[in-house]
């Protein structure tokens, strides 16, 4: 749900500025869950947030990444970032365009865990020469992995407040309060909720696996399979525990206690990718 509110260009810009600790220009309306298709036979990608800073011809792909009982290695973040970058370039360039028309691009992963194990506040990567480390390739690409669980004490106060909000959901300044208000509005917006569910492929995947039909027929076994399937799908989509429980309550008419029990039961048996 945090990424869902990033479609607000002002909030999105402020979050990017907080992460990068620098000011950026106005953004186009961010695309939430933007799908970039390669070919009819190729692999597509679904970007959490995709926005463009028109004044500097710079694009930002921002991904919220939770572990959700997966191993860090199974997430394959380095190669995912490489693939995302290549697909973004393909989407920008298009047929008949010159290489000079490629935008500067930043692939950003906001990780609620330490992705590389060095306890850094963030890990930033750019192409450079192995023989002359000071010589950068200057291809306009950058990949940044933010570690919201860092124990570093020298982290900028404003960034620490954003990290704390992401980790705990407790706002402590103007930006995080605005984010919390936007999240609450989104949770109470039935149209946005339906869109979020559709974008996460919940109904499509559950139906394809025969789970939704069982729930609709009122069979207890089918209903349980539907709930398990929903949890599996939302874990694959990196939804947080709180979001999954909230969605189970709304979709299946469960109490929060029932949803929590089922989450603990089924999430624990979720097969790591």
For 109-136, the pLDDT digits (tens) are 999 999 999 999 999 999 999 999 999 9
Could you tell me if residue 193 is inside a domain? no
**How many Cβ atoms sit within 10 Å of the Cβ of residue 260?**
17
Shared domain check, 213 and 154: no
Weakest-pLDDT range from 25-29, 44-48, 59-63, 178-182: 44-48
Helix (H, G, I), strand (E, B) or coil at 72: helix
Per-position b or e across 40-74, b if 16+ CB within 10 A of its CB: eeeeebebbbbbbbeeeebbbbbbbbbbbebeeee
Measured distance CA(214)–CA(248) in Å, rounded? 16
Q: Are residues 208 and 121 in the same domain?
A: no
Domain span holding position 117: 4-173
The whole-chain average pLDDT of the chain stands at: 82
Bigger pLDDT: 198 vs 34: 34
Claim to verify: residue 113 and residue 15 sit in the same structural domain: yes
Instruction: Specify the 3-state DSSP secondary structure of 153.
Output: coil
195 lies in some domain: no
Does 199 have pLDDT greater than 80? Answer: no
Residues 232 and 120 in one domain: no
DSSP 30: P
* 162 in the same domain as 90: yes
Work out the average pLDDT over 92-97.
78
Bridge pairing between strands 31-36 and 45-53: antiparallel
Task: Decide if 17 is inside a domain.
Answer: yes
Radius of gyration of the chain (CA): 20
- Least confident range from 164-168, 228-232, 263-267: namely 228-232
* Residue 245 covered by a domain: yes
Q: How many helices, marked H, and strands, marked E, lie in the chain?
A: 11, 6
Structural domain count, the chain: 2
Q: Is the dihedral of CA 219, 225, 231, 237 positive or negative?
A: negative
């Amino acid at each position: 749900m945090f990424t869902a509110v990033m479609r607000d260009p002002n909030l999105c810009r402020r979050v990017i500025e907080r992460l990068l600790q620098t000011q950026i220009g106005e953004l186009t309306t961010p695309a939430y869950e933007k799908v970039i298709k390669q070919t009819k036979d190729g692999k597509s990608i679904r970007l959490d947030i995709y926005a463009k800073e028109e004044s500097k011809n710079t694009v930002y792909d921002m991904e919220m990444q939770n572990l959700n009982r997966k191993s860090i290695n199974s997430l394959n973040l380095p190669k995912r970032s490489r693939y995302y970058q290549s697909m973004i370039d393909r989407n920008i360039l298009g047929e008949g365009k010159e290489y000079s028309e490629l935008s500067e691009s930043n692939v950003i992963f906001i990780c609620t865990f330490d992705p590389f194990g060095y306890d850094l506040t963030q890990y930033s990567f750019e192409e450079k020469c192995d023989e002359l480390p000071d010589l950068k390739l200057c291809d306009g690409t950058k990949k940044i992995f933010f570690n919201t669980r860092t124990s570093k004490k020298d982290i900028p106060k404003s960034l620490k407040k954003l990290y704390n909000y992401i980790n705990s959901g407790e706002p402590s300044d103007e930006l995080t309060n605005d984010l919390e208000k936007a999240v609450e509005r989104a949770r109470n917006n039935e149209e946005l909720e339906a869109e979020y569910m559709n974008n996460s492929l919940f109904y499509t995947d559950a139906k394809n696996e025969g789970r939704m039909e069982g729930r609709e027929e009122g069979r207890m076994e089918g209903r349980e399979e539907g709930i398990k399937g929903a949890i599996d799908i939302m874990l694959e989509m990196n939804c947080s525990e709180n979001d999954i429980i909230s969605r189970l309550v709304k979709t299946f008419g469960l109490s929060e206690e029932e949803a929590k029990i089922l989450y603990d039961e089924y999430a624990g048996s979720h097969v790591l990718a």
